[in-house]
Amino acid sequence: QLHQSGPGLVKASQTLSLTCAISGDSVSSNRAAWNWIRQSPSRGLEWLGRTYFGSKWNYEYPFSVKGRISIKPDTSKNQFSLQLNSVSPEDTAVYFCAKEILHSGPNRFAPWGPGTLVTVSS
């Protein structure tokens, strides 16, 4: 299971920070990647990036947010986090964390966290 936490209101130009706590699995698992996905009426479901452990920690982000985003694992707390810098009202969305199943056929997201509505105020 995945449990999300973080503020639901962020001011424009500031940093959005969310955390996803993992139970029943390990953030260091070599059979999983840990993702953030957001959903808004204007953009639909948008993949924001992932982290996963192979022989080292790996990070992947789409071009649309690269340079503004950071996804980091925290092995001591078995969780991972999202930081999105310099937010604008266009970043208002429901943010989901999701486990990506690896090495068992094509990848897929299961389970998802419950979602956090983050509103960026101008």
CB of 14 to another protein, least distance (A): 25
Closer of 53 and 96 to another protein (Cβ): 96
- Hunting for tokens 């810098």 — which residue is that? 85
Least Cβ distance, residue 109 to another protein (angstroms): 6
Q: CB of 73 within 8 A of CB of 49?
A: no
Nearer to another protein, 7 or 62 (CB): 62
For residue 77, give the 3-state DSSP assignment.
coil
* Residues of the shown chain interacting with another protein in the complex, contacts defined by CB under 8 A: 44-47, 50, 60, 62-64, 96, 98, 105-115
Work out how close the CB of 98 gets to another protein at its nearest, in angstroms, rounded to a whole number. 8
CA dihedral 36, 68, 11, 46 (to 10 degrees): -40
Determine how many CB atoms are found less than 10 A away from the CB of residue 120: 19
